[in-house]
Amino acid sequence: MIPQTIDAWQILSWQQELSRAVTDPGELLELLALDRRQLSIALQASMDFPLRVPRPYINRIRPGDPDDPLLLQILPTGRELEQVPGYSTDPLQERQNNPVPGVVHKYHGRVLLIVSPACAINCRYCFRRHFDYGENTQGRGDWERAIHYIAGDPGISEVIYSGGDPLVANDRHLRWLTERLAAINHLRRLRVHTRLPVVIPSRIDSHCLEWMTATRLQPLVVIHSNHAREIDGPVKAAISRLNETGIRVLNQSVLLRGINDDPAALEDLSETLFDAGVLPYYLHLLDRVSGAAHFGVDRRRALEIHRILQARLPGYLVPRLVEELPGAPGKTLLGCSA
């Protein structure tokens, strides 16, 4: 049964929250009582990759704290302007695995669809901050080519909705696309990778739950949270709605310097996620994308943190430490959960 409660109590629709997202660095600094001397640098950095952050997420950031771990994920800084060797605009070489518009096919058995070019929040470490969405944004007619591609490969059993963020797309389109995919006999699962349940939890409403569960495809939702303070009451309620409809919810995080590169922070995140009904899934090393080098944590430190997590947590709460390498047949596992 699909819970109906969200539509009754939400004050603003998710579309309204999306439209109210803060895109002006000056407004963000003012809302959070931060030093406006950062403004010129923030404006310069945001010219390449704009600021975008929904107000429900801003409400969880501590005012007056320039080192808040949630703030550091979204505030443009001068460090993004540094040119660092080994960092590129296409760190995972997705352009080489983009057989038709809207499709990224890197791994056996699963294919990724760029359902929406837009995100509700622009994370400063985003590995697709330079992705050519113009070449991968399409209308319904263009989607037929992507559907034909999937239908023509019987080895594909899972489709991953990605973006941008797929849940920025409207439910009518998502319902149509999901129904078309469900008609392909060799598909078994639909995986939705999204940050919306964390940054605009009202997105998980009855309309969203309806198309996710209406077909024979087994749905999974993979959220993206890097810090326990991102999981507040409305986020827990959104996750609960997913769980109540039988949708498995997993989390993937990115190991980020100055944000969560600390065993205690990651332990707290795993415990908070599990209490909310989410299973920790992946802990990614940073993808080496231009503009994000200052978030990088070296592999030796990452392994040390992961070993501490293994000692402190039961195995099911230890996310798999992975690195995504161009050309590899899958994600490279760097640590083993006990």
pLDDT at position 5: 42
- What span, in angstroms and rounded, lies between the C-alpha atoms of 33 and 329? 47
- What span, in angstroms and rounded, lies between the C-alpha atoms of 166 and 170? 9
In the chain, what are the domains?
Answer: 21-81 (no CATH), 94-333 (3.20.20.70)
pLDDT tens digits for range 320-338 = 999 988 878 889 999 764 4
**Cβ proximity of 29 and 189 under 8 Å:** no
* Three-class SS state of 334: coil
CA distances from 119 to 123, 149, 320, 324 (A): 9, 25, 25, 22
268: CB partners within 8 A, 6+ apart: 228
CA distances from 318 to 2, 297, 321 (A): 31, 18, 9
Place of tokens 């008609």: 183
For residue 160, which of 137, 131, 204, 190 has the smallest C-alpha distance?
Answer: 190
- Give the burial string for 259-275 (b: 16+ CB within 10 Å, else e): bbbebebbbbbbebbbe
pLDDT at position 4: 44
pLDDT at position 1: 47
User: Which regions in the chain score pLDDT beneath 70?
Assistant: 1-10, 131-140, 336-338
Both tokens of 47, joined, read: 């010219």
**Cβ proximity of 40 and 227 under 8 Å:** no
Place of tokens 């332990």: 267
Both tokens of 179, joined, read: 């129904």
**Cβ proximity of 61 and 34 under 8 Å:** no
